[in-house]
Amino acid sequence: MTQYEREVETPIGRIRIRVSDRGIEEVRFPGDGRRGDAGTGEHPLLERAAEELAEYFDGRRRSFSVPLALSGTPFEQDVYRELLAIPYGETRSYAAVAARVARPRAARAVGAANGKNPLSLFVPCHRVVGADGSLTGYAGGEESKRWLLAHERRVAARDPRMAPSNPPETPPISGSKSVRHRGQKR
């Protein structure tokens, strides 16, 4: 499968987006130690992802619609789907996410899955905090996480249409099955 990459300048620094025909495969921050090995040609999803990120950082978008090529173990994918359900401008603790994926004693495993999230920003792992509200690890660094959370709160406060009221739309996810959470009806 051919993959394409592009660097995008953002208020939290440069990020590298990798896509394939399936969707966004990976988002990387500088200094993460990984080397890009995908082609740098153009792909429609690269353009769309860059546009949606620009809208997000400009305060005009609260969720993404570009397709995601979610990867990881079934548990990790359950966690990523739950991260997608955290409303814009809000946070959840690792324990709360663990309870939502029907593994209430798995807060540390949720933290490990969160740390492996290959789709930072698009799958908003920055919205997960410690039980006491403290900022915990983030691939882009703690300052980036702080900036992203403050940005979302500012935008939500400024524009009531951006305030969390309904669960965010879930972007199309390729190669994965729908997961039902405990208490959720089909």
Q: Say if 81 falls within a structural domain.
A: yes
Q: Say if 132 falls within a structural domain.
A: yes
CB 34 within 8 A of CB 25: no
Rounded Cα–Cα distance for residues 2 and 82 (Å): 29
- DSSP class of residue 68 equals B
pLDDT of residue 36: 54
Q: Say if 165 falls within a structural domain.
A: no
pLDDT of residue 35: 54
Which residues belong to the active site? 125
Q: Say if 106 falls within a structural domain.
A: yes
Six-digit token string for 9: 């300048």
pLDDT of residue 136: 82
Q: What residues make up the domain containing 79?
A: 74-149
Total tally of structural domains belonging to the chain: 1
For residue 3, what are the CA distances in angstroms to 15, 45, 148, 166?
16, 11, 28, 34
Q: Say if 58 falls within a structural domain.
A: no
pLDDT of residue 24: 94
Cβ neighbours of residue 5 closer than 8 Å, sequence gap 6 or more: 16, 17, 18, 19, 36, 38, 39, 40, 46
* pTM, to two decimals: 0.82
CATH code of the domain containing 140: 1.10.10.10
pLDDT of residue 121: 93
Give backbone dihedrals phi and psi of 89, rounded to 5 degrees, phi first.
85, 0
How are beta strands 92-93 and 13-20 bridged, if at all? Answer: unpaired
Q: Say if 22 falls within a structural domain.
A: no
pLDDT of residue 95: 94
Query: 27-31: long-range contacts (C-beta < 8 A, 24 or more apart)?
Result: 27/118, 27/119, 27/120, 27/121, 27/122, 28/139, 29/120, 29/139, 29/140, 29/141, 29/144
Q: Say if 119 falls within a structural domain.
A: yes
How are beta strands 13-20 and 23-28 bridged, if at all? Answer: antiparallel
Q: Say if 114 falls within a structural domain.
A: yes
- Please report, in tens digits, the pLDDT of each residue of the chain (186 residues total): 789 999 999 999 999 999 999 999 999 887 655 555 555 678 899 999 999 999 999 999 988 999 999 999 999 999 999 999 999 999 999 999 999 998 889 999 999 999 999 999 999 999 999 888 888 877 778 898 999 999 999 998 887 665 554 445 556 666 544 333 334 333
Q: Which of 76, 44, 100, 108 is CA-nearest to residue 176? A: 76
